[in-house]
Structure 1
């Protein structure tokens, strides 16, 4: 006879459709990772999401949320001096947001406290910023099995309570060729997540931040979004998140721009055009296709075209590009 506590017949499993807090970036009942270098605005973006959920406002794709509760667990921001002023500046509802009042470690005892809080408060979104601060010291980077167990328990908590969870982490200093491996901690973190988001500076405009979809196991890859940190209308000295639309920059573009393997997207696009147009004019559409095969986006190529003064000419309804000025 089988062990029904560990295994179950698939016929007894109810098929379910994935539900979303922000489709297709943040699923409900599963782990989402938000990662990026320090100082780029991960915490600002996390608080922005908390504010949007607490007030039932619109996401960047114009989808309107119902008002919800948020459990905001931060090790890096003081609730009085940082979290509350920022949430107020962003127009959030602090009565729907609960924060840490004491220290907690994600050992068995701490996870039991967290589970009880989730069941009592009923959050629609949980934010942990950053995860590594709450991992028991003896398990950090040394005990993959303990990390897997912790993540498995977090997954069960959010699945049982139908809420979304966003786990924040920094990137490693050692640059990786594959963007999936750039995040800090063990590989189990990204492996357990069903969705992962990469935050980076726009390589052509560092004042702008790009949020790109790094991992998408349960749906299509979502578009990249651009936002800036601007002075609040409520509190002018506190920056708030302002989204300005979509970007065609990909995770690979951002990985290269951050100094990973290979040239930066800007340099790669400039070099491509010099090589591709070096022997004479080429069809514009062919140029885009060739650049795409080298991992260069249309937006990046268009900016390189402008920087290099590439000339566009139309012949019999077809556009051609050339580097010459004749």
Structure 2
């Protein structure tokens, strides 16, 4: 059986990238994926995405070249150090790198305190960060958008959720205090 990769879904594990329901691949004993090598455009890779009867074999590299009479011919290059999941990643940057960069940018941007929503949007656009990446980074950093009204003016701003961070720190300190106490008690009883 041959399955085609779904459009999109970049960054997902290779086993989940095939078209149709996951039970299609779930019923197979072994599955392989063929794709371009992440660092060498002229090299193709045959990599195991699933095997439940033995250890997975190493991925194999091959090239497609013109053979005798103009037909395509495969030339095997041997084992390559690439996993099936590497073949389905978005080209250019590792998964999560854009969100990590956006998180760092936002942490620096909001390090001095709250900023207006318009100012954040202006700087994010200058930095070339997409709105989707911005939403993910804001969610991970627990940044909230707030509105403050004074007379006829409304200020739309964002800041990190300091209250929740402070509460989490207090909870963590209390847990550590109990652990230290338990450790002291167990040490003194020995």
Band of TM-score, shorter chain: 0.3 to 0.5
Q: Which has the higher helix share?
A: 2
TM-score normalized with structure 2 length:
0.46
Greater C-alpha Rg? 2
